[in-house]
């Protein structure tokens, strides 16, 4: 009996039989791209220092956070806008920022993983001193962890 993968509906080869006529090598890089995913979070209104504005999110698969891209409708001024990740309520000191006076910023994140049992949250760690920044969209780039 033929079986298929859950998300992409790819036919799974029967054990001992390889029904795939094209080499798997050609698909490897394309399937690897599928592991790159994005989570979009919106901070509505004016940013408030030390506020946990997103919490209680669990990923369906183990993941590694790779980058954060942020866009502000109104730029922070006087200082940068910054956020940190939380894991089960504990800050992770993986800071992402939008520089003073800019409406967008991208920060590479290294060494931050979440298992399916670990809760993701986001906390404001800095706001502009003249204008805090507002209506900020946060795009979290992550990779699904490979099978062990």
Q: Decide if 19 is inside a domain.
A: no
Residues 6+ apart with CB under 8 A from 147: none
**Buried/exposed 113-136: b ≥16 CB within 10 Å, e otherwise:** ebeeeeebbbbbbbbbeebbbbeb
Tens of pLDDT, residue by residue over 67-117, are: 999 999 999 999 999 999 999 999 999 999 999 999 999 999 999 999 999
Tens of pLDDT, residue by residue over 21-73, are: 555 656 666 777 777 899 999 999 999 999 999 999 999 999 999 999 999 99
Q: How many domains would you assign to the chain?
A: 1
Q: Decide if 4 is inside a domain.
A: no
Q: Decide if 17 is inside a domain.
A: no
Q: Decide if 62 is inside a domain.
A: yes
Better-predicted residue by pLDDT, 136 or 13: 136
Q: Decide if 138 is inside a domain.
A: yes
Q: Domain containing 139: what range?
A: 36-144
Q: Decide if 95 is inside a domain.
A: yes
The reported pLDDT for the residue numbered 140 is 98
Of all residues in the chain, what percent carry a pLDDT higher than 70? 83
Instruction: Determine which helix (DSSP H) or strand (DSSP E) holds 121, and give its type and residue range.
Output: strand 120-126
Q: Decide if 23 is inside a domain.
A: no
- Which CATH number do you get for residue 47? 2.60.120.230
The reported pLDDT for the residue numbered 93 is 97
Q: Decide if 54 is inside a domain.
A: yes
């Amino acid at each position: 009996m033929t079986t298929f993968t859950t998300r992409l509906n790819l036919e799974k080869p029967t054990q001992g039989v390889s029904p795939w006529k094209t080499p798997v090598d050609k698909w490897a890089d394309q399937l690897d791209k599928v592991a790159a995913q994005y989570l979009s979070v919106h901070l509505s209104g004016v940013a408030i220092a030390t506020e946990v504005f997103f919490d209680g999110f669990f990923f369906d698969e183990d993941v590694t956070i790779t980058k954060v891209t942020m866009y502000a409708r109104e730029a922070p001024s006087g200082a940068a806008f910054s956020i940190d990740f939380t894991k089960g309520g504990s800050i992770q000191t993986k800071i992402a920022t939008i520089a003073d006076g800019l409406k967008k910023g991208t920060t590479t994140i290294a060494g931050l993983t979440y298992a399916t049992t670990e809760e993701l949250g986001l906390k404001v760690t800095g706001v502009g001193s003249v204008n805090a920044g507002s209506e900020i969209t946060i795009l979290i780039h992550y990779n699904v962890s490979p099978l062990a």
